[in-house]
Structure 1
Amino acid sequence: MTEEKYRRIYFQYYRLVKNVAYGVLHDADLAEDVCQEVFLLFLEKEEIVEEEFYPNWFSVNAKRKAIDFCRKSYQVHEVTVAGVPEEDESAEEVTDKIRIKNSGRNSFEDEILNNLVLRELTERILDDLEKKNPDWYEIVIRMYIRGEDAEETARALGISIENLRTKKHRLKMYLTERYKDDFEEA
Protein backbone atom coordinates (compact mmCIF):
# COMPACT_ATOMS: atom_id res chain seq x y z
CA MET A 1 0.00 0.00 0.00
CA THR A 2 1.32 3.42 -0.86
CA GLU A 3 1.73 6.06 1.79
CA GLU A 4 -0.72 8.32 -0.03
CA LYS A 5 -3.43 5.65 -0.09
CA TYR A 6 -2.85 4.89 3.59
CA ARG A 7 -3.18 8.58 4.48
CA ARG A 8 -6.42 8.82 2.51
CA ILE A 9 -7.85 5.79 4.32
CA TYR A 10 -6.59 7.08 7.66
CA PHE A 11 -8.25 10.48 7.27
CA GLN A 12 -11.42 8.89 5.93
CA TYR A 13 -11.92 6.45 8.84
CA TYR A 14 -10.10 8.15 11.72
CA ARG A 15 -13.22 9.81 13.15
CA LEU A 16 -15.23 6.60 12.86
CA VAL A 17 -12.63 4.61 14.77
CA LYS A 18 -12.19 7.30 17.42
CA ASN A 19 -15.95 7.71 17.93
CA VAL A 20 -16.49 3.97 18.30
CA ALA A 21 -13.60 3.70 20.76
CA TYR A 22 -14.78 6.73 22.71
CA GLY A 23 -18.28 5.27 22.89
CA VAL A 24 -16.87 2.26 24.72
CA LEU A 25 -14.12 3.92 26.78
CA HIS A 26 -15.43 7.46 27.43
CA ASP A 27 -11.80 8.62 27.50
CA ALA A 28 -10.35 10.66 24.62
CA ASP A 29 -6.74 9.65 25.28
CA LEU A 30 -7.50 5.95 25.39
CA ALA A 31 -9.67 6.33 22.28
CA GLU A 32 -6.66 7.85 20.52
CA ASP A 33 -4.54 4.88 21.61
CA VAL A 34 -7.18 2.53 20.23
CA CYS A 35 -7.07 4.43 16.91
CA GLN A 36 -3.35 3.89 16.66
CA GLU A 37 -3.69 0.19 17.45
CA VAL A 38 -6.51 -0.29 14.92
CA PHE A 39 -4.62 1.45 12.11
CA LEU A 40 -1.49 -0.56 12.86
CA LEU A 41 -3.57 -3.72 12.67
CA PHE A 42 -5.07 -2.45 9.42
CA LEU A 43 -1.59 -2.21 7.89
CA GLU A 44 -1.11 -5.91 8.63
CA LYS A 45 -4.55 -6.96 7.37
CA GLU A 46 -4.95 -4.49 4.49
CA GLU A 47 -4.46 -7.13 1.80
CA ILE A 48 -7.18 -9.35 3.25
CA VAL A 49 -9.89 -6.71 3.75
CA GLU A 50 -11.83 -5.60 0.69
CA GLU A 51 -12.33 -1.87 0.32
CA GLU A 52 -16.13 -2.07 0.44
CA PHE A 53 -15.89 -3.60 3.93
CA TYR A 54 -13.51 -0.98 5.39
CA PRO A 55 -16.20 0.85 7.43
CA ASN A 56 -17.41 -2.39 9.00
CA TRP A 57 -13.89 -3.66 9.59
CA PHE A 58 -12.80 -0.43 11.26
CA SER A 59 -15.86 -0.16 13.52
CA VAL A 60 -15.75 -3.82 14.62
CA ASN A 61 -12.02 -3.74 15.31
CA ALA A 62 -12.24 -0.39 17.10
CA LYS A 63 -14.93 -1.80 19.39
CA ARG A 64 -12.93 -4.96 20.08
CA LYS A 65 -9.71 -3.05 20.76
CA ALA A 66 -11.56 -0.67 23.08
CA ILE A 67 -12.99 -3.61 25.01
CA ASP A 68 -9.50 -5.09 25.22
CA PHE A 69 -8.22 -1.77 26.57
CA CYS A 70 -10.97 -1.84 29.24
CA ARG A 71 -10.01 -5.33 30.29
CA LYS A 72 -6.31 -4.49 30.37
CA SER A 73 -6.81 -1.25 32.32
CA TYR A 74 -8.90 -3.18 34.83
CA GLN A 75 -6.13 -5.73 35.38
CA VAL A 76 -3.11 -3.42 35.35
CA HIS A 77 -2.42 -1.39 38.48
CA GLU A 78 -0.13 1.54 37.82
CA VAL A 79 2.62 2.47 40.25
CA THR A 80 2.30 6.13 41.19
CA VAL A 81 4.12 8.63 43.34
CA ALA A 82 1.81 7.66 46.21
CA GLY A 83 3.55 4.29 46.17
CA VAL A 84 6.90 5.77 47.15
CA PRO A 85 7.13 5.89 50.95
CA GLU A 86 8.36 8.96 52.73
CA GLU A 87 11.04 8.49 55.37
CA ASP A 88 8.68 8.37 58.34
CA GLU A 89 5.87 6.36 56.66
CA SER A 90 5.15 2.72 57.32
CA ALA A 91 4.20 0.20 54.65
CA GLU A 92 0.61 0.19 55.94
CA GLU A 93 0.30 3.95 55.48
CA VAL A 94 1.58 3.71 51.91
CA THR A 95 -0.86 0.87 51.17
CA ASP A 96 -3.74 2.92 52.60
CA LYS A 97 -2.74 5.90 50.43
CA ILE A 98 -2.73 3.76 47.30
CA ARG A 99 -6.05 2.15 48.20
CA ILE A 100 -7.68 5.56 48.74
CA LYS A 101 -6.20 6.97 45.54
CA ASN A 102 -7.33 3.99 43.44
CA SER A 103 -10.75 3.46 45.04
CA GLY A 104 -12.56 5.83 42.66
CA ARG A 105 -10.78 4.45 39.61
CA ASN A 106 -11.68 0.85 40.37
CA SER A 107 -15.39 1.63 40.71
CA PHE A 108 -15.35 3.45 37.36
CA GLU A 109 -13.46 0.60 35.70
CA ASP A 110 -15.79 -1.90 37.34
CA GLU A 111 -18.75 0.03 35.99
CA ILE A 112 -17.34 0.05 32.45
CA LEU A 113 -16.62 -3.67 32.59
CA ASN A 114 -20.04 -4.46 34.03
CA ASN A 115 -21.71 -2.41 31.28
CA LEU A 116 -19.70 -4.25 28.62
CA VAL A 117 -20.52 -7.63 30.13
CA LEU A 118 -24.22 -6.76 30.32
CA ARG A 119 -24.25 -5.45 26.75
CA GLU A 120 -22.57 -8.63 25.47
CA LEU A 121 -24.99 -10.76 27.49
CA THR A 122 -27.96 -8.82 26.11
CA GLU A 123 -26.75 -9.31 22.54
CA ARG A 124 -26.23 -13.02 23.17
CA ILE A 125 -29.71 -13.39 24.69
CA LEU A 126 -31.38 -11.56 21.81
CA ASP A 127 -29.54 -13.68 19.23
CA ASP A 128 -30.51 -16.82 21.12
CA LEU A 129 -34.17 -15.78 21.37
CA GLU A 130 -34.35 -14.94 17.68
CA LYS A 131 -33.15 -18.46 16.84
CA LYS A 132 -35.08 -20.32 19.56
CA ASN A 133 -38.49 -18.66 19.19
CA PRO A 134 -39.15 -15.66 16.93
CA ASP A 135 -42.32 -14.78 18.89
CA TRP A 136 -40.33 -14.48 22.11
CA TYR A 137 -37.83 -12.27 20.32
CA GLU A 138 -40.65 -10.03 19.04
CA ILE A 139 -42.16 -9.81 22.53
CA VAL A 140 -38.85 -8.72 24.06
CA ILE A 141 -38.18 -6.17 21.31
CA ARG A 142 -41.67 -4.71 21.35
CA MET A 143 -42.43 -4.70 25.08
CA TYR A 144 -39.07 -4.30 26.78
CA ILE A 145 -37.05 -2.34 24.24
CA ARG A 146 -39.65 -0.27 22.36
CA GLY A 147 -41.97 -0.01 25.39
CA GLU A 148 -45.17 -1.13 23.65
CA ASP A 149 -48.05 -2.23 25.85
CA ALA A 150 -49.54 -5.73 25.86
CA GLU A 151 -52.44 -4.80 23.54
CA GLU A 152 -50.21 -3.41 20.81
CA THR A 153 -47.82 -6.35 21.01
CA ALA A 154 -50.62 -8.94 20.96
CA ARG A 155 -52.25 -7.21 17.98
CA ALA A 156 -48.93 -7.11 16.08
CA LEU A 157 -48.33 -10.81 16.74
CA GLY A 158 -51.94 -11.72 15.93
CA ILE A 159 -52.59 -13.39 19.29
CA SER A 160 -54.81 -12.74 22.31
CA ILE A 161 -53.54 -10.92 25.38
CA GLU A 162 -53.92 -14.13 27.43
CA ASN A 163 -51.79 -15.98 24.89
CA LEU A 164 -49.23 -13.16 25.08
CA ARG A 165 -49.11 -13.52 28.89
CA THR A 166 -48.50 -17.25 28.51
CA LYS A 167 -45.69 -16.66 26.02
CA LYS A 168 -44.14 -14.03 28.31
CA HIS A 169 -44.26 -16.46 31.22
CA ARG A 170 -42.60 -19.22 29.18
CA LEU A 171 -40.04 -16.73 27.91
CA LYS A 172 -39.17 -15.66 31.45
CA MET A 173 -38.91 -19.28 32.60
CA TYR A 174 -36.60 -20.07 29.67
CA LEU A 175 -34.39 -17.05 30.34
CA THR A 176 -34.21 -17.86 34.04
CA GLU A 177 -33.25 -21.46 33.37
CA ARG A 178 -30.84 -20.76 30.51
CA TYR A 179 -29.09 -17.62 31.78
CA LYS A 180 -29.35 -17.84 35.56
CA ASP A 181 -25.59 -18.26 36.04
CA ASP A 182 -24.80 -15.45 33.58
CA PHE A 183 -27.10 -13.04 35.43
CA GLU A 184 -25.50 -13.90 38.76
CA GLU A 185 -22.02 -13.22 37.32
CA ALA A 186 -23.09 -9.89 35.78
Structure 2
Amino acid sequence: MLAGDEEAFREVVRTYRNYVFQIVFSVVRHPKDAEDVMQEVFLKMYTSLPQTEVKGLKAWISRVAVNKAIDYKRKAYRQRETATDGMEEAMPPPSLSGSDTEDPLLSKELQALVMRKLEELPENYRDVIIAFYYEDKSYQQIADEQEVTVQTIKSKLYRAKQWIKQHWKEEEFE
Protein backbone atom coordinates (compact mmCIF):
# COMPACT_ATOMS: atom_id res chain seq x y z
CA MET A 1 0.00 0.00 0.00
CA LEU A 2 2.58 2.57 1.09
CA ALA A 3 5.62 0.92 -0.50
CA GLY A 4 8.10 3.70 -1.08
CA ASP A 5 5.55 6.48 -0.62
CA GLU A 6 6.81 8.44 2.37
CA GLU A 7 4.28 11.23 1.87
CA ALA A 8 1.43 8.73 2.08
CA PHE A 9 2.96 7.31 5.26
CA ARG A 10 3.22 10.82 6.75
CA GLU A 11 -0.47 11.29 6.01
CA VAL A 12 -1.32 8.01 7.75
CA VAL A 13 0.70 9.13 10.79
CA ARG A 14 -1.06 12.51 10.84
CA THR A 15 -4.45 10.85 10.48
CA TYR A 16 -3.99 8.16 13.12
CA ARG A 17 -1.58 9.79 15.58
CA ASN A 18 -4.20 10.77 18.18
CA TYR A 19 -6.11 7.53 17.69
CA VAL A 20 -2.98 5.41 18.32
CA PHE A 21 -2.02 7.56 21.31
CA GLN A 22 -5.45 7.02 22.91
CA ILE A 23 -5.25 3.26 22.46
CA VAL A 24 -1.72 3.01 23.81
CA PHE A 25 -2.38 5.41 26.70
CA SER A 26 -5.41 3.37 27.77
CA VAL A 27 -3.04 0.44 28.33
CA VAL A 28 0.19 2.03 29.64
CA ARG A 29 -1.45 4.94 31.54
CA HIS A 30 1.57 7.28 31.32
CA PRO A 31 1.85 9.94 28.59
CA LYS A 32 5.61 9.61 28.10
CA ASP A 33 5.40 5.83 27.91
CA ALA A 34 2.49 6.15 25.50
CA GLU A 35 4.60 8.41 23.26
CA ASP A 36 7.41 5.83 23.23
CA VAL A 37 5.07 2.98 22.40
CA MET A 38 3.35 5.09 19.75
CA GLN A 39 6.73 5.53 18.03
CA GLU A 40 7.17 1.74 18.05
CA VAL A 41 3.71 1.33 16.50
CA PHE A 42 4.51 3.70 13.65
CA LEU A 43 7.92 2.09 13.14
CA LYS A 44 6.19 -1.30 12.88
CA MET A 45 3.74 0.20 10.38
CA TYR A 46 6.54 1.69 8.32
CA THR A 47 8.47 -1.58 8.13
CA SER A 48 5.48 -3.93 7.75
CA LEU A 49 2.99 -2.14 5.53
CA PRO A 50 4.93 -2.47 2.27
CA GLN A 51 4.90 -6.29 2.64
CA THR A 52 1.50 -6.60 4.31
CA GLU A 53 -1.82 -6.77 2.54
CA VAL A 54 -4.08 -4.80 4.87
CA LYS A 55 -7.80 -4.71 4.21
CA GLY A 56 -8.92 -2.80 7.31
CA LEU A 57 -6.13 -0.32 8.00
CA LYS A 58 -7.68 1.15 11.15
CA ALA A 59 -8.35 -2.30 12.64
CA TRP A 60 -4.80 -3.41 11.82
CA ILE A 61 -3.34 -0.25 13.37
CA SER A 62 -5.48 -0.83 16.47
CA ARG A 63 -4.24 -4.41 16.82
CA VAL A 64 -0.59 -3.35 16.41
CA ALA A 65 -1.06 -0.53 18.95
CA VAL A 66 -2.68 -2.81 21.54
CA ASN A 67 -0.03 -5.52 21.05
CA LYS A 68 2.86 -3.06 21.34
CA ALA A 69 1.34 -1.49 24.46
CA ILE A 70 0.85 -4.89 26.09
CA ASP A 71 4.42 -5.87 25.19
CA TYR A 72 5.64 -2.65 26.78
CA LYS A 73 3.68 -3.32 29.99
CA ARG A 74 5.04 -6.87 30.19
CA LYS A 75 8.59 -5.67 29.67
CA ALA A 76 8.17 -2.94 32.31
CA TYR A 77 6.68 -5.48 34.73
CA ARG A 78 9.59 -7.89 34.19
CA GLN A 79 12.08 -5.07 34.73
CA ARG A 80 10.32 -4.00 37.91
CA GLU A 81 10.18 -7.61 39.08
CA THR A 82 13.92 -7.99 38.47
CA ALA A 83 14.59 -4.74 40.31
CA THR A 84 12.56 -5.92 43.30
CA ASP A 85 14.10 -9.41 43.50
CA GLY A 86 15.32 -9.82 47.03
CA MET A 87 13.00 -7.06 48.20
CA GLU A 88 11.67 -9.41 50.87
CA GLU A 89 15.07 -9.35 52.56
CA ALA A 90 15.66 -5.63 52.07
CA MET A 91 12.27 -4.40 53.25
CA PRO A 92 11.46 -4.31 56.92
CA PRO A 93 8.67 -6.72 57.72
CA PRO A 94 5.24 -5.13 57.91
CA SER A 95 4.17 -4.67 61.50
CA LEU A 96 0.75 -6.27 61.20
CA SER A 97 0.38 -7.25 64.84
CA GLY A 98 2.17 -4.30 66.39
CA SER A 99 4.49 -6.60 68.33
CA ASP A 100 8.24 -6.30 67.87
CA THR A 101 8.86 -9.44 69.92
CA GLU A 102 7.56 -11.81 67.23
CA ASP A 103 9.68 -14.68 66.03
CA PRO A 104 11.89 -13.19 63.24
CA LEU A 105 11.31 -16.26 61.04
CA LEU A 106 7.56 -15.82 61.35
CA SER A 107 7.87 -12.17 60.37
CA LYS A 108 9.94 -13.11 57.32
CA GLU A 109 7.38 -15.75 56.34
CA LEU A 110 4.52 -13.32 56.82
CA GLN A 111 6.37 -10.70 54.82
CA ALA A 112 6.99 -13.17 51.98
CA LEU A 113 3.31 -14.15 52.04
CA VAL A 114 2.22 -10.51 51.84
CA MET A 115 4.58 -9.91 48.90
CA ARG A 116 3.20 -12.99 47.09
CA LYS A 117 -0.35 -11.87 47.78
CA LEU A 118 0.44 -8.38 46.48
CA GLU A 119 1.37 -9.97 43.15
CA GLU A 120 -2.27 -11.09 42.86
CA LEU A 121 -3.49 -7.50 43.00
CA PRO A 122 -4.28 -5.83 39.67
CA GLU A 123 -1.22 -3.80 38.70
CA ASN A 124 -2.82 -0.35 39.05
CA TYR A 125 -3.85 -1.21 42.64
CA ARG A 126 -0.55 -2.88 43.50
CA ASP A 127 1.45 0.18 42.43
CA VAL A 128 -0.59 2.46 44.69
CA ILE A 129 -0.57 0.06 47.68
CA ILE A 130 3.20 -0.40 47.50
CA ALA A 131 3.86 3.32 47.05
CA PHE A 132 1.57 4.32 49.93
CA TYR A 133 2.18 1.59 52.50
CA TYR A 134 5.67 0.29 51.74
CA GLU A 135 7.41 3.31 50.25
CA ASP A 136 5.55 5.64 52.64
CA LYS A 137 4.71 8.15 49.90
CA SER A 138 2.00 10.76 50.27
CA TYR A 139 -1.10 10.93 48.07
CA GLN A 140 0.44 13.94 46.35
CA GLN A 141 3.75 12.19 45.61
CA ILE A 142 1.97 9.20 44.11
CA ALA A 143 -0.37 11.44 42.11
CA ASP A 144 2.61 13.38 40.73
CA GLU A 145 4.42 10.18 39.74
CA GLN A 146 1.36 8.73 38.02
CA GLU A 147 0.34 12.08 36.56
CA VAL A 148 -3.18 11.86 38.00
CA THR A 149 -5.12 13.77 40.65
CA VAL A 150 -4.91 13.10 44.38
CA GLN A 151 -8.57 12.06 44.29
CA THR A 152 -7.71 9.38 41.72
CA ILE A 153 -5.06 8.00 44.07
CA LYS A 154 -7.52 7.98 46.98
CA SER A 155 -10.03 6.14 44.79
CA LYS A 156 -7.42 3.59 43.71
CA LEU A 157 -6.43 2.97 47.33
CA TYR A 158 -10.06 2.53 48.32
CA ARG A 159 -10.69 0.12 45.43
CA ALA A 160 -7.49 -1.76 46.22
CA LYS A 161 -8.61 -2.23 49.82
CA GLN A 162 -12.02 -3.43 48.63
CA TRP A 163 -10.32 -5.88 46.25
CA ILE A 164 -8.15 -7.18 49.09
CA LYS A 165 -11.19 -7.64 51.36
CA GLN A 166 -12.95 -9.65 48.65
CA HIS A 167 -10.01 -11.80 47.55
CA TRP A 168 -7.81 -12.37 50.60
CA LYS A 169 -8.83 -14.59 53.47
CA GLU A 170 -7.74 -13.77 57.00
CA GLU A 171 -6.93 -17.43 57.67
CA GLU A 172 -4.14 -17.29 55.08
CA PHE A 173 -2.25 -14.88 57.33
CA GLU A 174 -2.61 -16.78 60.60
Greater relative contact order (Cα 8 A, min sep 6): structure 1 or 2?
Answer: 2
Max Rg structure: 1
TM-score, normalised relative to structure 1: 0.42
The TM-score, its normalising length taken from structure 2, stands at: 0.45
